[in-house]
Structure 1
Amino acid sequence: MIRIVIAGLQKDRIKKSVIEAGGERVEALITTDMDAAKRVKTGQADYYIGACNSGGGAALSIAIGLLGYSKCATVAKSGGKPDPLKIEALVNSGTIAFGIAEESIETAVTFIVESLLKKHQ
Structure 2
Amino acid sequence: MLRIVVGGLKKDITERSVKAEGGKHVQVTVTSDFEGAKKVKAGDADYYIGACNSGGGAALSVAIGILGYGNCSTVAKAGGKPKAEEIQKLVDQGKIAFGIAVESIEEAVPHIIRALLKKHGLV
TM-score range, shorter chain: over 0.9
| Cα deviation code 1:79-112 (max 9, x no counterpart) | 0000100000000000000000000001100000
The unaligned stretches of length 5 or more in structure 2 are: none
The one-letter code of the counterpart of 1:41 is K
Residue 76 of structure 1 deviates from its aligned partner by 0.1
The one-letter code of the counterpart of 2:62 is I
**2:8 aligns to what?**
8
**2:93 aligns to what?**
93
The one-letter code of the counterpart of 1:62 is V
**1:36 aligns to what?**
36
Residue 14 of structure 1 deviates from its aligned partner by 0.2
The unaligned stretches of length 5 or more in structure 1 are: none
Alignment of 1:46-57 (within 5 A): 46-57=46-57
2:17 matches 1:17: yes
Normalised TM-score (structure 2): 0.98
Distance 1:42 1:19 in 2: 23
**1:67 aligns to what?**
67
Residue 7 of structure 1 deviates from its aligned partner by 0.2
Distance 2:17 2:118 in 1: 17
Runs (4+) of structure 1 moved beyond 4 Å?
none
- Over the matched positions of the two proteins, sequence identity in percent amounts to 61
- Cα RMSD of the aligned pairs, angstroms, is 0.3
Distance 2:20 2:36 in 1: 21
Distance 2:33 2:116 in 1: 20
